[in-house]
Structure 1
Amino acid sequence: MTSRRWVAGLAVLVCAAALALTWLLTGTGGDVGRAVSSADSADATVASAAVKDEVRDVAAEATRAAYSYSWETLEDDKAAARRLMTPAMQDRYDRTMAGVATTSRSDRTVVSADVVDTALVTATARAARVLVFVNQRTSGADLAEPRLDLDRVLVSLERAGGGDDGWRVSELDAL
């Protein structure tokens, strides 16, 4: 008699688990998309596939622009990178590049950044974080041969303006 009860109890548990799994997979518990949110915002819905692709592209472009410059075209290079940033990020970037300007001209430094790949960390319709893998090659008068740095950059993005102005970088964190 005891083994029959045990088998019956196990059958009930298996049926309950199957029902719960079916409920989760079919979304009968309401709008499944609303239940999944970003770690940064408890009520933000997950972004569409198009938004995910767009933020990866913008993060790659912005990283390439921010991490590439030449002593000969420094002002143009900085302007191109700044166009992809929020005002607060532009201020931080300008402070960083102020020190770079002096040394890059005297050393004739040329830095080129090539994005190898990107990985989406989080994305909503208004904000995203993307991990960017970048190879940065530096040459200059002070280097006997070009130097290659393999970098990872965590790029935070936010929707600019009312959302129609595209994405702008709000943080660049080298890891």
Structure 2
Amino acid sequence: MYRPIVIRYMTANGNAVETGRAKGWCFDCAGYADIEDIDPEVLGAALIAKECERAEADQRRIALSHGFVQRLRNRTERGNLRCGIRWLDDEIAVLRELLGIARNRRSKARCLRCWSASTASLSFDPQDDIARDFRHGCGGHLRIIHDHAGPRFFFRRKTYVLNEEGECLGEELENT
């Protein structure tokens, strides 16, 4: 069942970085499970995309600032772009911190059920919902079955506090 989960990494320099989870295969649980979302390739691609988006927004903001009349006419849009750039800067900082954690750690992503490091991330083909990058022990591919039951409001958000190696330091439940 879907449960809202947040992962908070406590770094050696005292920073706290929050991220979500990914779905993957845990070999110790022998099943489909929630794992840490700490794949360096995915994080690197996301960082590049955010930096490109920020550069485009900054170029647009500069283009709207040429000339006195342009500055007056486009004041609202420039303000919105500045706010968006600040959000992108925050997201880029989080992605850089996560990428640093992912590159420096020795273990792979851990299972959030048994804390084993023997996991494999899965990506499902959107057309037929089959994981082509993973083959089960029986020789078949995994297929995801979508649960269209809607949101489950009776779950409180759970936060796992982890160190940089993915070892659990504690759990927190959101107060309602």
TM range (shorter): under 0.3
How does the TM-score come out when normalised to structure 2? 0.23
- Larger relative contact order (CA 8 Å, sep ≥ 6): 2
Larger radius of gyration: 1
Larger helix fraction of residues: 1
How does the TM-score come out when normalised to structure 1? 0.23
